[in-house]
């Protein structure tokens, strides 16, 4: 066992998400979101904001983060509108 930067005791067999570069983690998260049938618009908003807002957590999101999420959703819809 070794200690990581955050003093976490880690076992060599641990598969910790933060042991991979952030862009790789995001790729794996997006792939999991696709497999879970999360809407492409929500995936786009996640990629823009780093947030995932749904029924379970929407009441816990700050106004600032909610505004960022809503703007990302609107941006995606504008980009994908046949009338844009």
Cβ atoms 5, 40 nearer than 8 A: no
Same structural domain, 29 and 55: no
Domain range enclosing 63: 40-84
Name residues of the chain where pLDDT drops below 50.
1-8
Same structural domain, 44 and 7: no
pLDDT (0 to 100) of residue 51? 93
Taking the C-alpha atoms of residue 50 and residue 10, their distance in angstroms, rounded to an integer, is 26
Reading the block at residue 58, the tokens are 């929407």
pTM, two decimals, is: 0.71
* Cβ partners under 8 Å of residue 66, min gap 6: 53, 58
List own/partner pairs for 55-63 with CB under 8 A and 24 or more apart.
none
The total number of structural domains in the chain stands at 2
Same structural domain, 32 and 58: no
């Amino acid at each position: 066992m070794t200690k990581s930067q955050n003093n976490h005791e880690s076992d060599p067999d641990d598969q910790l998400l933060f042991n991979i570069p952030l862009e790789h983690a995001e790729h794996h998260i997006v792939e999991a979101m696709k497999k879970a049938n999360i809407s492409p618009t929500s995936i786009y908003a996640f990629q823009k904001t780093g947030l995932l807002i749904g029924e379970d957590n929407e009441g816990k999101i700050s106004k600032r983060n909610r505004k960022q999420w809503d703007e990302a959703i609107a941006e995606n819809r504008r980009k994908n509108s046949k009338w844009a």
